[in-house]
Structure 1
Amino acid sequence: MLHYLWMFIVGVVVGAIARFIMPGSEHLGLLMTGVLGIAGSFVGGFIARLFSQPADGAIVHPAGLILSVVGALILLYVWNHFVH
């Protein structure tokens, strides 16, 4: 249960950083900011695995937070330009 809470908290932080970097007119609440950050983490993880594999036994990829923000920025761009 704590894993999901921690995942949401990190998702909110990643989503907030992405929204700070790419401000716009979107009005995302706390829940959607968390969802943006969590989805951005999945996109960033996919991008990271395209270029390099984490070491055997590693829990997270070394560039995890940075690529999570990059993934959230990609999703925010898509949201602003294609959904809105």
Structure 2
Amino acid sequence: MVRILGALFSGFLIGLLARWLYPGSVHLGVVATILLGVGGSLLAELVARRQGSSQQVGCLASVLGAMALILIGRLLG
């Protein structure tokens, strides 16, 4: 239970940072911000694994992954 709450809290913080650093306004609710942060972390982890890294990705990589998801979302629609 503590891991789930930690993942939701860190996802929220990563999503907030990504929204704040992304140029332009990003209108998302709390749940969408959490999902953005968790998705950014998963994307960064996937890219790191494809590059052959066995270490966990950091917060910066997760924020960049979340910003990439914002960009992809804007390009798609």
TM bucket by the smaller chain? 0.7 to 0.9
Scaled by the length of structure 1, the TM-score of the pair is 0.80
How far is the alpha carbon of 1:4 from its aligned partner?
A: 0.8
How far is the alpha carbon of 1:67 from its aligned partner?
A: 1.3
Q: How many pairs were matched up?
A: 77
Structure 2 unmatched ranges of 5 or more: none
Larger radius of gyration: 1
Could you say which residue in structure 1 is the equivalent of 2:27? 27
Scaled by the length of structure 2, the TM-score of the pair is 0.87
Equivalent pairs: percent with the same residue? 32
How far is the alpha carbon of 1:64 from its aligned partner?
A: 2.1
Structure 1 unmatched ranges of 5 or more: 56-60
Could you say which residue in structure 1 is the equivalent of 2:44? 44
Distance 1:50 1:70 in 2: 16
Could you say which residue in structure 1 is the equivalent of 2:9? 9
CA RMSD of aligned residues (A): 1.5
How far is the alpha carbon of 1:65 from its aligned partner?
A: 1.2
Could you say which residue in structure 2 is the equivalent of 1:78? 72
Distance 1:67 1:54 in 2: 14
